[in-house]
Structure formats: C-alpha cells, structure tokens
Structure 1
Amino acid sequence: MLRSVAAVVLDDVAPFELGVLCEVFGLDRTADGVPPIDFRICGQRPGEPVRTSVGMQVVPGHGLDELSRADVVAVPAARIRDDYPQDVLDGLRSAAVRGATMLSVCSGAFLLGAAGLLDGRRCTTHWFYVSEFRHRFPTAELDPDVLYVDDGDVVTSAGTAAGIDACLHLVRRELGSTAATRIARRMVVPPQRDGGQRQFIDLPVPECTGESLEPVLAWMQETLDVEHSVAALAARAQMSPRTFARRFVAETGTTPNQWLATQRVLHARRLLEDTELGIEQIARECGFGSASLLRHHFRRIVGVTPRDYRRAFARTADSVPQ
C-alpha cells in the first residue's frame, strides 16, 4: 500500500533528493485524480532545524516514531558517515520488520546498509560511491549500472534523477500507471524509465582532442547510414589504415567501429524521441541495417531496448510505432 510516506532527514541531507520525495509524495494531487498520500518529514528532534548539504536548513515536523506507522520509509541522500545515529537505525529496522517498504535515493542506500537492511538484497546506489559501498556492505548484491532496483520491500535508486524514476515506479507499482503518469506530467518528466537503463553512457559523444580527424569525424556523423571501413576512412584522412586506427584511438579514446556504433545509437535515440518512424526504418537510417542489430547495440550502450526507450521518451505519447 502507499497511503503514507515518512522521509528521514539527517544533518547534511541533500535538498534535491529530499525535494524529489516531497514532489512525488508530498504534494496534494487529488485534483488530478491521484489518491492522497500522507507525507511526513521526520527527524531525531522534531521542530529543530537540520542543516542541508548546501547550507540551508530543513525543519522536520515529526519525530522518528512516525516510522512505525508509515507504509513507505524514504531515505534521501545525505553525507556518508562512519557512524549513523542509533535511534535512526533502530527506527529503520523496526519499520522494516513491521513490513514497511524501504526506499532510498542515491547515497541514502548507505543508511539502509548501516541498518543491515541490504544484506543479501539486490540494490544500487550512485556509481560514484560503488567502491565505498562494496567495502562497507560486502554481502549486499549491488548492481552499479542501473537506475533503480525493486527488490520487493526494498527499493534503491542511483543519483538525483534516478530517484525520480524509483519514486514514480513505486507509485506505479502501488497506485497504478494512471497515478504515476499524472504525477510525471505535472513534474514534466518521463512517466517511466526502465530500472535496468544505464546510469550513464560512457563517452556518449567522444571528444576529439586534436584537429586532424575532425573533418573525418564530421563526415562520419553526416553519413551514419553508410558503411564505413577503416580502410576507406584512412584513405579519406590520407593515412595508412594502421596510422589512422592509432590516431583515431589517441584522439577519441575509442576505435572507429566503437565510435561509429555509439554515434549511431545516439542518432537512434533522437529518432525514437522525436519521430514516429518504425524501428526497421530507424535502423536503416542509422546505418545498422536491421532492427535486430539496432536492438543489440542500443541495449548494449543504453541498457534498454529501443521500444522500451521510446515508450519512456517519445514526444508523441499517443502512439508507439511498432
């Protein structure tokens, strides 16, 4: 059930991640047809200011006793510390034992981990903290590549915007897709991003650090639908294939084939978002030749299928071409 949400704030809480919880769960959207949610910000000492990571303050209106009554206990990002307050850890454990769903945003997973709630559980956190998280919680089944993980009564998310995805996913799971879509529309965000999507794409637009290959790179981007062999590209650059391949890696950080595949996927993303072209036609226009080859590279680089990506990001939400 999702009738009540208690957000736990500690000193140095991140205001954006706390704001995500407030925006999704804390605003009255009953006029939009969203069921009411009793949202409460809870701290160790209700009524006393809690500092945030950017210098402003938040005043929790409720104490930790509210954790014992909430359907969902949410933990926003905050400064990672060696020792967390014992009363907060006890409150989280008691809520989990009672059957509350535990939700974390970004580094909030460290607080759940310190409470022992992620031992043997699938989870994620911001990619920047992966090494530290694994060191502290070796028995947690961390997936560092995804936006969020739904492990039943524990939902964890990666950094910042991924917290929005996890919160909307929880709304969709508990209240239905209509409620999630209406909240997303008011927030002007995609109503659904698959949790398995990558947190980030490494080298999404590889940067050329020199000038010698810029004309070739620009030409490749203008002719993505054309087959490009290393030999042909080397001839265009007036280099031997071996010299060209070595220079290409030095200036872009990747191979010609990998760079080209990434650029084609980026072009496919734009077409999926902005057009109603079918997947086969997009594959041809991007130079993949077939939908199966597009799906292979798209899932490898982005982390979800082209069709799932379009469902989440298409500008024309009324129709999803097959």
Structure 2
Amino acid sequence: MAGVTVIRTMEVEAMNFKKNLKSKIRLDGLLQRVLNTIREPPEESSVDKELTREILKTTDFKYKKIGNLEFYMRPMESEIMEILVLENELPIYHTTLGDLTLRKNPHWQDLVSIRNLRKIMNDQDVLASKGRESLKRLYENALGRLDLTYTEDDIESLVIDAQLGIEQRSVKRVRESLDLFFGLLGFEPVLFKVIRPEVHMFGRPVSEREGVPLFEHLVVFNEATLSLGLRRGAFSPINDLHLDWVIRYSDGMAEADLHGTEVLEFLAEMALSQKPLVREMFIEWRPGPSDARSTNAEAGMRG
C-alpha cells in the first residue's frame, strides 16, 4: 500500500506541475496580447481592459468599484495599498484608498481645499508605475503565485506523454507536451511562409541583431507525419544557409541532428540542467505571428 501511495502522490504532483505550467503559458499569452495594445507614451494607448482583467484574476489584487472607477488593490503596509486603476494608462498607486478616491473622484466640497487641489492636479507623489511597467508588476505578481518547481519525474512525464501521443497518432497530445516544454524553456514559434503549413518550427531566442531575433536549437514538428527533428546550435532567419536547410528539411531533403525521442530527451535534459526561463515580454512590444518573423524570413530568402 505504501508503494501505491507514493505513486499516487507522484501522479498528483505531476498533474499540479502541468496545471501550473499551463497557467504560466496562458499568462504569457495574455500578457503579450495586452502589450500589443500599449503604445508609448501610455497616454496614447487603448489598452484591452478585458484581457487586463483576465491577468488581474490571476493576481492577489482585489476588485472594488467606486463611481465609474474600477480599482484593483492589495495591502502593502499599515493603510497603504497598491492600487491599479483600470484605465488606458494602467496607473498603479501606492497610497490609501481614501486618498486615491479623493484624487480620482473628488466631490465639489473637496475642491475648496488648496491641499486637495494640489493632490488632484498632481499624482506623482503616489504614482508607482503605468503602462508596460504596471503590466510587469501584475505579471510578476501572478507568476509568483504559481509553483513552477519541478522534479525529474515531472519532466519524464512530459516525455512519456509525447511518446504516447506519437504512438497513438495524436497531434493534440504531442503538441500539448511540446507546448509545455516550450513554455518551460522559453521556446517561441519561428514562422516561415515558405514552408509547408503542416510543418511548425520553434526556437529559443538568445539575442537580437538589427531587429531580427536569433534562436538556438530549432525544433521542427510535422503534424502530418508526427515527426520531430531538432537542429542544434544557433539559427538566424536571415542566414541563407540556415534558410536553405529549413526548406530542404521540410521537403525531406536534409537531415536533422536529432529525431523523434532524441528531441524529447534533449528538451528534458535542458529542463533539468537549468532553471525555467521566464520571458521578459513586458520589455518591448513584439509583432504578432503574422508579420515580422515571416517577413524577415522571406526577406532573407530573397537576399
């Protein structure tokens, strides 16, 4: 019975790990979508409030509506709160709820005080952040609530799930395992319009040169054949030799460094040899999947 209990405990822990990792992947996606609606300066943004609400649901900020204002707040020290006002600039303040209500929603009686007028006209003394910096705070808060630690058994379960998916000819199961690996290791889609639509490529960004991302360890997944391949080392979407390999490999004319289970084992080794990477997507706006990277790839082919 003790052995059965241990196995069940391991299964529960693996399920919790996958659940939390899926939550992180969803959080990453929400963050990127909101970032794409933010421009600088924040005053010129038209932030997606519904998506921002979805992010806020994953934090420990509590909702409160006063008049037409939507506040999300969490305690700091004494009566001081960290308060986000859900408006285009996404300002976050460190002050009391009463003080912020006075500044944001004053009554006419409040306007007879010069001290109050100064507060209403200038919030810099309590403003902590806005725009991307506020999203960074929300993201880090939400991420800190997820237990993303993992064991060798957790990683092995991802490998087994992918192997079973291949054996069962289940694209969905294979993609789910790959997506979990990619979310853990910071891999991103690398899009090329010049290859077959059933072929999907992923790489881990390592740097950027003249606006073009550089990747390492290109993973290629063919949904039609359920085949996996991996090209070791650095990869650039504007390098002619690399692009030539992509086309020849997708046509079955070139070999990958690793195949099938070897790819899964390689990803597992990466996960076990380092801490999971958290993408700093809040630093800058990134183009959507339909534009820059595919455009850069095609430009590289023409060059």
TM-score by length of 2: 0.27
Q: Which has the bigger relative contact order, CA under 8 A and spacing at least 6? A: 2
Question: Which structure's residues are more often strand, by fraction?
Answer: 2
